């Protein structure tokens, strides 16, 4: 895998240093809190919300969050070489990194943990999608309610903009501030083709919306959503067939 990766990277002219295209991909991934996959340099690693996400891009390091659960929930060792996969809208970006050390930020219950890894010298793009994401604002327009996990106090409400089996984006009017990685309870009712959602999620990112007074929230599911994934793929296939018949 390593030899193949370096040969392909060299052929594409991406082997010398962190190119501008690599930096652009990483900055976009940090802005979207893109899911990551972590594996050995000889194995694949498909991105998953439970394996962590891209937190930030520093001058000489990439910051990733600590895996939430599953087989990837282990301590990464300084100097360890890893195969890192980063989710994108059209597939995955694969690269090799070295663990530089641990990372943490924030205080108290808002404290976050992760790792600093080296900037990949090259990224190989793979045109494949494990998480089907569908825009829903116009044809489904579901309303979502955001609540505190314990008290169920209202945080805000808004419209689901897009949806995948890994998370969703909501254009919401918030009654209080939210922080990255903060847990929320999300309730959303969809038409018959999509099952209702009433589950715990984590805030991936928050940014001002084009709609005045609203905030675009990226949210990650705290637990896998296999039934939602099936429904999304069925709806996507229905739309493709409808477009082909038009």
What residue ranges do the domains of the chain occupy?
Answer: 2-126, 134-245
| Section 82-105 average pLDDT | 87
If you count DSSP H runs as helices and E runs as strands, how many of each does the chain have, helices first? Answer: 3, 14
Beta-carbon contacts of 201 under 8 Å, excluding residues fewer than 6 positions away, are 167, 168, 183, 184, 185, 186, 219, 220, 221, 222
The CATH class given to the 2-126 domain equals: mainly beta
List the CATH code of the domain at 134-245: 2.40.10.220
pTM metric for this prediction: 0.49
The predicted pLDDT at position 68 comes to: 64
Sole residue written with tokens 């991105």: 47
pLDDT greater than 70 at residue 73? no
Contacts of 188 (CB under 8 A, 6+ apart): 142, 143, 144, 145, 160, 168, 196, 197, 198
Give residue 42's pLDDT. Answer: 54
The number of C-alpha atoms within 13 Å of 133 and in the hemisphere containing its C-beta is: 16
- Specify the range with the lowest mean pLDDT, choosing from 104-108, 126-130, 217-221, 232-236: 126-130
Of 80, 62, 56, nearest in space to 119 by CA: 62
Whether the CB-CB separation of 238 and 191 falls below 8 Å is answered with no
Are 186 and 35 within 8 A, CB to CB?
A: no
* Rounded-to-integer distance, Cα 218 and Cα 211, Å: 16
pLDDT, tens digit (0-9, with 9 covering 90-100), for 9-50: 443 333 333 445 898 899 988 888 888 888 765 555 667 666
Q: Which of 9-13, 97-101, 120-124 has the highest mean pLDDT?
A: 97-101
Q: What is the pLDDT of residue 131?
A: 53
Are residues 51 and 158 in contact, defined by beta-carbon separation less than 8 angstroms? no
Mean pLDDT of the chain: 78
Alpha carbon distance 226, 200 (integer Å): 15
Provide the pLDDT confidence category of residue 243 given band limits of 50, 70 and 90.
Answer: low
What whole-number percentage of the chain has pLDDT above 90?
Answer: 26
Chain-centroid distance, C-alpha 5: 24
The residues that bridge with 198 in the sheet, in sequence order, are 187
If one compares 213 and 226, the residue with the highest pLDDT of the two is 213
Q: How confident is the model at residue 174 (pLDDT cuts 50, 70, 90)?
A: very high
């Amino acid at each position: 895998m390593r030899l193949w990766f370096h040969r392909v990277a060299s052929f594409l002219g991406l082997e010398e240093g962190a190119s501008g295209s690599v930096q652009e991909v990483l900055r976009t991934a940090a802005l979207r809190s893109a899911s990551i996959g972590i594996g050995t340099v000889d194995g694949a690693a498909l991105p998953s919300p439970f394996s962590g996400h891209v937190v930030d891009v520093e001058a000489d390091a990439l910051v990733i969050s600590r895996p939430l659960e599953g087989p990837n929930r282990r301590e990464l060792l300084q100097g360890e070489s890893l195969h890192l996969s980063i989710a994108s809208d059209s597939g995955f970006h694969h690269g090799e990194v070295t663990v530089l050390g641990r990372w943490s930020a924030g205080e108290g219950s808002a404290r976050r943990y992760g790792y600093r890894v080296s900037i990949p010298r090259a990224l190989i793009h793979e045109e494949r999608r494990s998480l089907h994401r569908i825009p829903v604002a116009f044809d489904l327009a579901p309303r979502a309610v955001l609540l505190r996990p314990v008290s169920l106090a209202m945080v805000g409400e808004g419209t689901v903009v897009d949806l995948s089996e890994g998370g969703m984006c909501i254009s919401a009017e918030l009654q209080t501030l939210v922080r990255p990685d903060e847990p929320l309870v999300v309730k959303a009712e969809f038409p018959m083709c999509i099952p209702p959602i009433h589950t715990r999620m984590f805030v991936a990112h928050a940014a001002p919306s084009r709609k005045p007074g609203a905030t675009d929230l990226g949210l990650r599911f705290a637990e896998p959503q296999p039934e939602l994934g099936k429904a999304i793929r069925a709806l996507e296939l229905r739309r493709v067939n409808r477009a082909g018949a038009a």
